[in-house]
Amino acid sequence: MKEFSSDAEILTAAKADGKQMLFFTAGWCPDCAFIKPAMPEIEADYPDYTFIKVDRDDNIKVAQEMGVMGIPSFIAFENGKEIGRFVNKDRKTKQQVEDFITGLPA
C-alpha cells in the first residue's frame, strides 16, 4: 500500500493513469483496525489497483475535498476519474470491500 506525505501527492496519485483505490483510515479508528489485517489480502486479490493509504487526520483537506466523513472508506479512480465509492462510518468486512471492488466498472 502506497503512502504519501502531502495532500497534493495523494491527489496527484489518485488522478494518475490506471486504477487507484484510496483507503481512508486513522490510527484511533477501531473499525479501521478491524479491516487493516485484511488489506494485504484484498490488495493481492485486486492487482489492477494501486492502493493508497490516506490518513484522515493527516490529510483532512483530501478527506473534505472528497466528502469523506466516515472511516474506513474507499474511493476508486480510473485514469483520474472517480468510478465508485464505499464511504460511510460503518465497520466493513473483507467480503464487503471485495464485493464493492468487484462491482466497480471493468
Which residues are known to be catalytic? 29, 32
Q: Give the full edge-to-edge strand order of the sheet including 73-78.
A: 2-3, 49-55, 19-25, 73-78, 81-86
Q: What's the CA gap between 59 and 4, in Å, rounded?
A: 10
Task: Give start and end residues of each alpha helix (H) in 17-93.
Answer: 30-35, 39-45, 60-65
Task: Give start and end residues of each alpha helix (H) in the chain.
Answer: 7-14, 30-35, 39-45, 60-65, 94-102
